[in-house]
Amino acid sequence: MKYLVLLGDGMADFPLPELEGRTPLEVAFTPSMDEAARIGVCGLFCPIPEGCPPGSDIGNLSLFGYDPRETYTGRAPLEAANQGIVLRPDQIAFRCNLVTLENGLMQDFTSGHIPTEEAAVLIEALNAGLTGFAATFFPGISYRHLTIIAGAPEALVNLEALQCTPPHDITGKPFADYLPSGPGAELIIEMMEASRPILEEHPVNAARAAAGQPPATSIWLWGQGRPPRLQPYRQRFGILGAVISAVDLVNGIGVSAGLRVIKVPGATGYLDTNYKGKVSAAIEALKEVDFVYVHIEAPDETSHQGRVDLKIRAIEDFDAYVVAPFLEYMQHHPHLRILVAPDHITAIRSRTHEHGPIPFALCGEGITPNACQSYSERAAQETGILLTHGHTLIAHMLRAPTIDFPTLNHVSE
């Protein structure tokens, strides 16, 4: 048996007035996801446990089959794992966004989706200029980077009490209202403020401004933590696996879970990503491993922009360029199970992540259809299936010899 997870990050949403009370998933043309729902089991699940902040870190941990309440230690340590950074006990990892702050507002948490090459130059400048801090900056992809603070400063001992707001939660809002608070906040704010003159005076930003592109005017630190301990997939499920994503966070979970990370040229984490390359890489990987996790970021990014038209496009692209070719592949490789799901709601109305149950479709060998005719939040709700402990979904997919409505309904109890 082989297993595929097809993850459309942030696809789920709430009904919108501009869509006549429908969600983007209901409006989008998604014949392949509808087919996956028809030939398989469809329902709702809750990957974000009660009391946990909604986000891709928590959501993807659940989708990989780990209970976030037991395994989550912060987002940045997972991204560090993807970069091969082994944190010492006296080191703390922070996610470092390059952001555009203008007129007191968080104007753009991506700095206009700054190209990776330009961002790397700015990160190098920060390492050279911010010498007064025991911090090292590591370049990532586009606006997503890492800061490692060494020496375990006394002010940062109580990481649980340090509150750092993700910048994608405050697009268009006064950023001063969301600066870090709690133990260690003064140090983090000082670093963020010290980054501004270095970035604002840099030639890369001068060129971006001249070209009418948002400059990266500051860093924004958040997602702090120490490394997690995840039981490897080979021990947990007895299988070998791989992960394919443009996002360091998702790849970092894969590394921590003992999975192979496959880098695909042209994987950008946005609408222009290399869908065909990701699909080809996954099919090739299935020749050697049992499980492949294919992550698509574009629905989440477009939701953060508040662009319902682009979100619908991202969902339709996911359906046509990812789900469709894998359903065709399954016709010639019947010993396969495919799970289609988002990892959380990313709401157009708020431009950020929100709590709530989200739809899944699970099809393939040994799975009895439950008469669902389409893939959407409403259609999944009508099946009556709700897995309140979302992290159990993948375990059921990988372990149960057969899956039908009664067995999944039992899991949700």
Mean pLDDT confidence for 287-293: 98
- Whether the predicted pLDDT of 153 surpasses 70: no
* Burial call 372-406: b when 16+ CB within 10 Å, e when fewer: bebbbbebbebbebbbebbbbbbebbbeeeebebe
| Environment class of 155 (CB within 10 Å of its CB; exposed 0-12, middle 13-18, buried 19+) | middle
CATH topology of domain 2-72+229-411: Alkaline Phosphatase, subunit A (3.40.720)
Banded pLDDT at 402 (limits 50, 70, 90): confident
Residue 160 has pLDDT above 80, yes or no: no
Q: List pLDDT tens digits, range 250-273.
A: 999 999 999 999 999 999 999 999
Query: What is the three-class DSSP state of 397?
Result: helix
Q: What is the pLDDT of residues 353-396, one digit of tens each?
A: 999 999 999 999 999 999 899 999 999 999 999 999 999 999 99
Q: Where are the beta strands (DSSP E) in 245-301?
A: 260-261, 291-296
The pTM of the full predicted model, rounded to 2 decimals, is 0.83
pLDDT reading at 86 higher than 90: no
Matching residue, tokens 């692209």: 317
pLDDT of residue 413: 44
Task: Tell me how far apart the 2 most distant CA atoms of the chain are, in Å.
Answer: 62
- At 177-211, the pLDDT tens digits run 999 999 889 999 999 999 999 999 999 999 999 99
- Which 3 state secondary structure label does DSSP give 128? helix
Position 212 pLDDT exceeds 90: yes
Query: Where along the chain do the CATH 3.40.720.10 domains lie?
Result: 2-72+229-411
What CA–CA distance (Å, rounded) separates 128 from 271? 33
**Residue 345: pLDDT over 80:** yes
Return mean pLDDT, the chain: 93
pLDDT at position 273 is 96
C-alpha 250/C-alpha 92 separation (Å) is 19
> With left for phi above 0 and alpha for psi between -120 and 50, is residue 251 left, alpha or beta?
alpha
